[in-house]
Amino acid sequence: MPLVTGGKQVYGMADARADLIALSDYIYERTRSRLDGLTDTEYLWEPVPGCWTIRRAASGKYQADHSDSPGLPPFTTIAWRLWHLAACHGGARNPQWPGLNRQPAGFERDDPAPASAAEAVSVLERAHAFWQGLIQDLSADSLWEPLGPVAGSYAEDGKASLVLHQLDEQIHHGAELGVLRDLYQHSRTPDKTAKSSPAR
């Protein structure tokens, strides 16, 4: 609840924390709703040649394509982006940097990736639950504490900045998934509004 001082509402740190938690949940629910009906064909659909995607490795497990080479990365499939979004929610730095006592949950780049659309949605759900638990563990006062040396060049940034960064990741990657789903549907639906050119 906001404080009332001199007839004006003043928001405190507890309000900011509650808003971050609520926003995170809203972002997830909006993204999750855009994934209803996702099929395996659409999950692995490559809109352009040479996409990064999810592939079966020699071990038999699926892995996300990646490279540490500089330069513009290739376009990525829904499968790749869903795995990346799960890593944004459940990456090891999320508990490590703010000093929370949580073990990594298996959402790193080299961890096995979901082989199917249904599995990917389930993984995203688990990753979000992991993330929500983390931000609920952060006290209101701790949000403004610096991350410290564990965060490298971000050592002086507050813990709130990490939360905001991850929310930004979740927002824009969720939007990308929605756009890719729209593109997939429209690329398979004949345009009934198009008119043929007049004969010459």
What CATH number does residue 38 fall under?
A: 1.20.120.450
Indicate whether 73 belongs to any domain: yes
Indicate whether 75 belongs to any domain: yes
In the predicted structure, residue 37 carries a pLDDT above the cut 90: yes
Which tens digit of pLDDT belongs to each residue from 86-134? Answer: 998 888 999 999 999 888 788 887 788 999 999 999 999 999 999 999 9
Indicate whether 199 belongs to any domain: no
Give the chain's length.
200
11 or 48, which is more confident: 48
In the predicted structure, residue 9 carries a pLDDT above the cut 80: no
Sign of the Cα pseudo-torsion (179, 75, 28, 163, in order):
negative
Indicate whether 131 belongs to any domain: yes
The closest alpha carbon to 120, from 177, 197, 184, belongs to 177
- Domain containing 37 equals 24-187
Sign of the Cα pseudo-torsion (15, 98, 27, 36, in order):
negative
Residue 74 near residue 52, CB atoms below 8 Å: yes
Domain count for the chain, please give it. 1
Give me the percent of the chain exceeding a pLDDT of 70: 88
Indicate whether 197 belongs to any domain: no
Indicate whether 14 belongs to any domain: no
Q: Picking from 22-31, 138-147, 162-171, 186-195, which range would have the lowest pLDDT averaged per residue?
A: 186-195
pLDDT at 73: 81
pLDDT at 97: 93
Indicate whether 122 belongs to any domain: yes
- pTM of this prediction? 0.83
Indicate whether 130 belongs to any domain: yes
pLDDT at 142: 92
pLDDT at 188: 81
